[in-house]
Chain A
Amino acid sequence: SEAYMPVSAGLGSEENFLSLEDIIMSHEKLPCRLEMTLPRLGFLDKSGESDSIPEGTKMELPLWLAKGLYDKKRKIVSVELPKIYKEGWRTVFNADANVVDLHRLGPYYYSFGCQLLNFDSPENPEIAQTLLQTFVGRFRRIMDSSQNAYNEDTSGLVSRLDELERILFHAGQKGLNEFQRWEKGQAS
């Protein structure tokens, strides 16, 4: 439906509160370490048997929870970078971003990556640079393919795109289809 206009995902380090995309993205997990004991929550730790989750426990927490518990002063959790944002993978991205399957590695590679910048890692400048360069490196092919694939199966073209790139691809397809309709006199 043309008239359905959902709240879009936020850009950069801000989420849009009412965006379904941002809510799903922020459910993705990242490796954390508890810097304090959490009493009375022991039932959440499958490996533990006590009433508390002890300090030092390593857990994968959803981004929304990691953000809420991360505080420079109180330090309830510390956060580790997921693999694909670390130096090793950043080298791969910087070498040739087009070879990477961002759906498998993501699927919210860009927006999740931007959210990681909230955690004050010393690698933030490099992460931000890689995110930007990766996007720039891949954008041209996404634009070209979305503008040239008319009335055909595009599943092969989108299978390796992250969610942001898929939205861009579909925007390009929509424009192409609307133009074709207009050319054929079907837009009235």
Chain B
Amino acid sequence: ANTETYLKNVALKHMPPNLQTVDFLKSVPK
């Protein structure tokens, strides 16, 4: 949640609306 908030505030919210999701975080290999 910390990382999501950070990425949204610093970058994603400045991007086009359809590119603001954090779906890529699910793809981080364990």
Contact = CB atoms under 8 A, between A and B. Distances in A.
B30 to A, nearest CB: 11
Interface residues of A, number: 5
Interface of A: 7-8, 16-18
8 contacts: A7-B28, A7-B29, A8-B29, A16-B27, A17-B24, A17-B27, A18-B24, A18-B28
Contacts of B28: 7, 18
A16 B30 CA distance: 12
Interface of B: 24, 27-29
Contacts of B24: 17-18
A18 B7 CA distance: 13
A17 B22 CA distance: 12
Nearest to B23: A17
Contacts of A8: 29
A7 B3 CA distance: 15
Contacts of A7: 28-29
A12 to B, nearest CB: 13
A18 B26 CA distance: 11
Contacts of A16: 27, 29
Nearest to A10: B29
B11 to A, nearest CB: 13
Given A16-B27, A17-B27, 8 more contacts: A7-B28, A7-B29, A8-B29, A16-B29, A17-B24, A18-B24, A18-B27, A18-B28
